[in-house]
């Protein structure tokens, strides 16, 4: 799947802006422009824009609609590309259903046939979460129950584009670097219709370094894509009728013993679990917010992040490629804890499993060419202690590895241990979440050293795989200080993080630390949340809390 790009063969028209929205009935069909439509921004979530609680928390179907016109050309095909709508949706062009979206974090790419001079695009979104959606949820007595700790933002969250393709066109481009261990050897696989094809590669200065008729070629004096020191080449695929440009980086990812190697050099993951979440926008993609996030990460000397708990926008990954961040690309499989409903009695619920596998494939189709993606996570905190999880995840891992060449992991829950996890054996790197001294023994920093050492060492001893502490953190209200340090103060967060890090420094099978979370984020209302989850090392405004200065110093030389 290729991102729509503009060049002399292809056009792109942007449909972002102010659309009409309306909450609609279950069986609603968009046969004409809805007369109750009110203005709504795209991309954005509606939840942080509306001021009425019932509307903000609405669960059910919501219509997004707009009219549009594009220049008409006979010699090309038209397609629609919706970056993401949360969650499922049905798409209609001039009252005709043209397709569906199956998940809130993946693009929907559909042919647009029979375009008129003036057209109406209607998207009916369903934001309800069930045992068969990703993330999972449950509807009880008509009320949405959320199984995970992030807000169920709803809306069109990423760009809506109409684009054209030549009739004979390139469908897909897969770029593999470091073929047979040789740096600079590149192989390109192009899917599509063409008679002639050639491959050109430009370096970062825009100079042509390769022009080849063959799909496997050598880049002279290759410059590698390194962690925090990226180098991106541009591949231009030219056929007799079409052209597509894709950036790529030359880098090799490997696990040797307990080392995670990028370009033959061991790396230590320093960074965060994050969320796509910001004031007013909700989950609406915005490059200014992404850039502020990345500038803060550079400032604090982080080198990596996990796209917890769903695939982030393609624009985020483009920028991560450029900043040289290492990304653990996570599927939207959070909240897999409803074992009876999700997994059935004797192993996998076939429907849930089939969707999960499809999402792993689509993640590959979308993200395969990004050098920043160095590992894939199939799920965050499923109930790995449940025996049925073994069969389920055996299949998910095997299927994921059919596509992905990078290491594959699964993030173990706070109560998953080496002795009771049925699935840790499938991971290439064991990612472990721990909230010692926070959710257990709350406020007691003295429990961390012994318990964390034991939990992580047990995982290593049993599986002999490298380990990442993929979540640890403490809710912190900025400006709150206590002496001695008590929970929710900036002091406590700083000492809490330092205490965990002290353990990691002693365990050489540990290859990384991802603090939970990069910034404060919205959750559903509940007693343990003061306007959301406050474990951010940065506030929601993206200003540093006290712990940020500790981490900046620590990560400078780590
Ligand atoms: C972890 C979850 C994460 C939560 C975090 C917390 O993976 O999504 O936000 O707990 O409670 O278990 O802060």
385 and 415 in contact (C-beta within 8 Å)? yes
The rounded Å distance from CA 158 to ligand 1 centre is 25
**The sheet that has 108-112: what strands, in order across it?**
12-14, 160-166, 76-82, 108-112
Question: Is residue 484 assigned to a domain?
Answer: yes
Handedness of CA 381, 385, 388, 391 (dihedral sign): positive
CATH, residue 221: 2.60.40.10
pLDDT value of position 220: 95
Atom of ligand 1 nearest to the CA of 533: 13
Alpha carbon nearest to ligand 1 atom 9, residue: 149
∠ Cα 87 92 95 (to 5°): 145
Nearest CA to ligand 1 atom 8: 149
Q: Which position has the token pair 């849930």?
A: 352
Residues 475, 399 share a domain: yes
Q: Are 418 and 502 contained in the same domain? A: yes
Residues 67 and 191 in one domain: no
Give the integer Cα–Cα distance in Å for 138 and 128: 8
Check: CB of residue 151 under 8 Å from CB of residue 135: no
Task: Check residue 388 and give its pLDDT.
Answer: 84
Helices 314-323 and 350-367: crossing angle, nearest 10°? 50
Burial (0-12, 13-18, 19+ Cβ within 10 Å), 346: exposed
- Catalytic residue among 246, 471, 490, 513, which? 471
Q: For residue 549, how many other CB atoms are within 10 A of its CB? A: 13
Distance CA 558, CA 553 (A): 9
**Which of these three, 94, 124, 158, is where a domain ends?**
158
- Phi (first) and psi of residue 21, to 5 degrees: -135, 155
**406/467 same-domain check:** yes
Compute CA distances 401 → 267, 360, 364, whole Å. 22, 9, 10
Mutate which of 438, 471, 476 for ligand 1? The one with the most ligand atoms within 8 Å of its CB, which is 471
- Tell me the CA–centroid distance for residue 304 and ligand 1, in Å: 18
325 is a domain residue: yes
State how far the Cα of 419 lies from the Cα of 471, in Å rounded to an integer: 20
Q: Are residues 229 and 273 in the same domain?
A: no
Contacting residues for 415 by C-beta, under 8 A, at least 6 apart: 385
Residues lower than pLDDT 70 in the chain: 179-180, 338-348
User: CA separation (Å) from 265 to 66, 260, 543?
Assistant: 51, 8, 33
Whether residue 361 is found in the same domain as residue 497: yes
**In angstroms, what is the span from residue 414 Cα to ligand 1's centroid?**
9
Determine which residue's CA is closest to atom 11 belonging to ligand 1.
149
Helix (H, G, I), strand (E, B) or coil at 20: strand
Out of 248, 276, 299, a domain closes at: 248
Annotated catalytic residue 381: yes
Same domain, 205 and 273: no
Q: Are residues 91 and 201 in the same domain?
A: no
Residue 258, domain member (yes or no): no
Give the span between the Cα atoms of 132 and 89, in whole angstroms.
15
Q: Which tokens go with 132? A: 């068969």
CA dihedral 53, 57, 62, 66 (to 10 degrees): 60
Burial of 158 (0-12, 13-18, 19+ CB in 10 A): buried
Confidence at residue 503, expressed as pLDDT on a 0 to 100 scale: 98
* Count of Cβ atoms closer than 10 Å to residue 301 Cβ: 17
d(CA 265, ligand 1 centre) in Å: 31
Residues with CB under 6 A from ligand 1: 148-149, 309, 380-381, 414, 433, 471, 516, 533, 535
What CATH number is attached to the domain comprising 78?
2.60.120.260
The residue from 128, 158, 188 where one domain ends is: 158
Whether 109 and 223 share a structural domain = no
> Beta strand 185-192 with 304-306: parallel, antiparallel or unpaired?
unpaired
The active-site residue out of 238, 330, 381, 499 is: 381
Distance CA 413, CA 385 (A): 9
Domain assignment present for residue 6? The answer is no
Residue 205 and residue 143 in one domain? no
Tokens of 111: 């042919």
**Are 147 and 175 part of one and the same domain?**
no
DSSP string over 402-470? HH--S-EEEEE-TT--TTT-SSGGG-SSEEEE--BTTTBSTT-GGGHHHHHHHHHHHHHHHH---EEEE
**Which is the closest atom of ligand 1 to the Cα of 148?**
8
Domain contains 163: no
Q: How many domains does the chain have?
A: 3
Residue 348 lies in a domain: yes
- Residue 227 burial class via C-beta count within 10 angstroms: exposed 0-12, middle 13-18, buried 19 and up: buried
Walk across the sheet containing 259-262 and list its strands: 253-256, 259-262, 265-266
Question: Residue 107 and residue 487: Cα distance in Å, rounded?
Answer: 41
Ligand 1: nearest atom to the Cα of 439: 11
pLDDT digits (tens, 9 = 90+) for 336-387: 876 666 555 544 578 889 999 999 999 999 999 999 999 999 999 998 988 8
Residue ranges making up the domain that contains 196: 170-248
Q: Which pLDDT belongs to residue 344?
A: 56
Each residue of 420-457: pLDDT tens digit? 999 999 999 999 999 999 999 999 999 999 999 999 99
**Domain assignment present for 309:** yes
Whether residue 166 has a cis bond before it, omega within 30° of 0: no
Q: Residue 370: count other Cβ atoms within 10 Å of its Cβ.
A: 18
Listed residue (48, 45, 46) closest to 532, CA to CA: 48
Are residues 328 and 383 located together in one domain of the fold?
yes
CA distance 159 to 314: 10
In a domain, 34, yes or no: yes
DSSP 8-state class, residue 341: I
Q: How far is the CA of 195 from the centre of ligand 1 (A)?
A: 52
Q: Which residue out of 533, 534, 537 has the highest number of ligand 1 atoms within 8 Å of its CB and is therefore the one to mutate?
A: 533
Q: CB-based burial of residue 495 (10 Å sphere; 0-12 exposed, 13-18 middle, 19+ buried)? A: buried
Neighbours of 17 (CB within 10 A): 12
């Amino acid at each position: 799947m290729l991102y729509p790009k503009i060049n002399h063969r292809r056009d792109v028209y942007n449909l972002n802006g102010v659309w009409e929205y309306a909450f609609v009935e279950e069986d609603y069909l968009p046969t004409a422009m809805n007369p109750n439509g009110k203005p709504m921004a795209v991309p954005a979530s509606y939840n942080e824009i509306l001021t009425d609680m019932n509307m903000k928390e609405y669960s059910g179907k919501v219509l997004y609609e707009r009219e549009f016109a594009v220049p008409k050309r006979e010699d090309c095909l038209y397609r629609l590309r919706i970056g993401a709508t949360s969650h499922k949706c049905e798409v209609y062009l001039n009252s005709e259903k043209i397709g569906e979206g199956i998940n809130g974090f993946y693009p929907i790419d559909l042919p647009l046939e029979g375009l008129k001079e003036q057209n109406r695009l209607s998207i009916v979104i369903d934001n309800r979460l069930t045992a068969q959606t990703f993330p999972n949820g449950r509807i009880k007595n008509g009320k949405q129950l959320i199984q995970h700790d992030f807000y169920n933002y709803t809306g069109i969250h990423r760009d809506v584009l109409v684009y054209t393709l030549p009739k004979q066109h390139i469908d897909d481009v897969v770029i593999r670097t470091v073929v047979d261990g040789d740096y600079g050897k590149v192989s390109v696989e192009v899917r599509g219709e063409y008679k002639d094809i050639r491959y050109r590669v430009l370096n970062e200065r825009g100079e042509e370094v390769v022009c080849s008729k063959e799909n496997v070629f050598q880049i002279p004096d290759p410059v590698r894509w390194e962690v925090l020191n990226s180098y991106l080449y541009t591949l231009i695929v030219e056929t007799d009728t079409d052209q597509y440009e894709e950036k790529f980086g030359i880098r090799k990812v490997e696990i040797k013993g307990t080392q995670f190697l990028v370009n033959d050099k061991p790396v230590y993951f320093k960074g965060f679990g994050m969320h796509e979440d910001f004031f007013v926008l909700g989950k609406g993609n915005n490059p200014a917010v992404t850039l502020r996030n990345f500038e803060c990460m550079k400032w604090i000397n982080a080198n990596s992040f996990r796209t917890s708990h769903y695939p982030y926008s393609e624009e985020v990954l483009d920028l991560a490629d450029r900043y040289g961040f290492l990304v653990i690309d996570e599927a939207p499989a959070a909240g897999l804890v409803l074992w009876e409903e999700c997994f059935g009695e004797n192993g996998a619920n076939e429907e849930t499993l089939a969707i999960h596998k499809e999402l792993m494939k689509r993640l590959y189709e979308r993200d395969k060419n990004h050098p920043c993606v160095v590992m894939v996570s199939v799920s965050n905190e499923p109930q790995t202690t449940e025996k049925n999880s073994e069969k389920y995840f055996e299949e998910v891992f095997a299927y994921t590895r059919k596509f992905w060449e990078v290491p594959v992991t699964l993030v173990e829950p706070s109560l998953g241990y080496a002795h009771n996890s049925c699935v840790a054996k499938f991971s290439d790197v064991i990612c472990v979440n721990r909230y010692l001294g926070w959710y257990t023994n709350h406020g007691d920093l003295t429990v961390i050293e012994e318990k964390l050492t034991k939990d992580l060492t047990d995982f290593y001893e049993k599986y002999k795989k490298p380990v990442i502490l993929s979540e640890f953190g403490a809710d912190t209200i900025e400006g709150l200080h206590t002496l001695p340090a008590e929970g929710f103060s900036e002091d406590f967060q700083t000492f809490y993080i330092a205490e965990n890090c002290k353990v990691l420094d002693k365990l050489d099978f540990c290859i990384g630390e991802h603090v939970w979370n990069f910034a404060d984020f919205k959750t559903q209302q509940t007693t343990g949340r003061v306007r959301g989850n406050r474990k951010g090392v940065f506030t929601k405004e993206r200003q540093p809390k006290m712990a940020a200065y500790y981490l900046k110093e620590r990560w400078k030389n780590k």
